[in-house]
Structure 1
């Protein structure tokens, strides 16, 4: 993988977004997911999260993608822990998580370690946004 970025990275990002949007359209029409509230919004959020985790933009979350993503979240894991997290979700036994498996994990009833980490991270970001308040003003008499 060429980690240089630039034009090639932008093209890869555009390609993966189009591919994931197509998958999302199919999922919106799938009877399996028809009862889920705000499915469109959830799928868009999951798409962004998947792209965030898929560092090399190859369409799957592999061990190294997951390792870097977990480190970015401040939750570094060992190789064995990462493999266990992937195997909990990987139905195709390819040691990587494709987008469909990622969606099934996020929308499914089963709670996986990866799902818990993602939900925790989302909650932490919401809480962080609410705590940003201006400090109380001090008068000159309050100074030491």
Structure 2
């Protein structure tokens, strides 16, 4: 149950961290401001999307569909399939973590950056600011 899932996620985070280091060493991305913290945020978001831990996220992920809906751009199954096809360069119905990073760090990253920003703001609003009632 929970113990096995936590172990699976810890192993996945280690693999994704190795991929992050490859991107951090890549001269193409070094000029990006605040790259290490961006990479950490991208890793957390990808782990949320990749529910089964196989490091391929795609249209089966309801998280992706919910995020798009929250942004006010709900997508049908076919629209998600097309979007993922563009992201994965037509290689299938899923996209890998390196493909996700290339999108987030590349020209076509505006929508995904908006998703991350929106979810971070929503998370900040969820935190109570007042002391608990007596």
Q: What is the CA deviation profile of residues 89-120 of structure 1, one whole-angstrom value per residue up to 9, with x for unaligned ones?
A: 11361221111111111111124655543443
Contact map agreement 1:60 1:96 (CA 8 A) in 2? yes
Q: Secondary structure at the match of 1:94?
A: coil
Compute the displacement of 1:47 (Å).
Answer: 0.3
Compute the displacement of 1:8 (Å).
Answer: 2.1
- Residue segments in structure 2 that go unaligned for 5+ positions in a row: none
Match of 2:20 among 20, 24, 30: 24
- TM-score, normalised relative to structure 2: 0.78
Correspondence for 2:115? 117
Counterparts of 1:94 and 1:73 in 2: how far apart (Å)?
20
The alignment status of 1:63 with 2:59, answered yes or no, reads: yes
Contact map agreement 2:47 2:53 (CA 8 A) in 1? yes
Contact map agreement 1:85 1:114 (CA 8 A) in 2? no
Correspondence for 1:137? none
RMSD: 2.7
Match of 1:79 among 77, 80, 105: 77
Counterparts of 2:98 and 2:90 in 1: how far apart (Å)?
11
Q: Which is higher, the Rg of structure 1 or of structure 2?
A: 1
- TM-score, normalised relative to structure 1: 0.73
Taking a change above 3 Å as real, the CA distance of residues 94 and 117 of structure 1, as seen in their structure-2 partners, is same
Contact map agreement 1:87 1:95 (CA 8 A) in 2? yes
The alignment status of 1:10 with 2:9, answered yes or no, reads: no
Aligned residues: 128
Taking a change above 3 Å as real, the CA distance of residues 9 and 72 of structure 1, as seen in their structure-2 partners, is farther
Ranked by relative contact order (alpha carbons within 8 Å, sequence separation 6 or more), the top structure is 2
Q: What is the CA deviation profile of residues 14-69 of structure 1, one whole-angstrom value per residue up to 9, with x for unaligned ones?
A: 1110100111111111111111111111000100000011111111102212x244
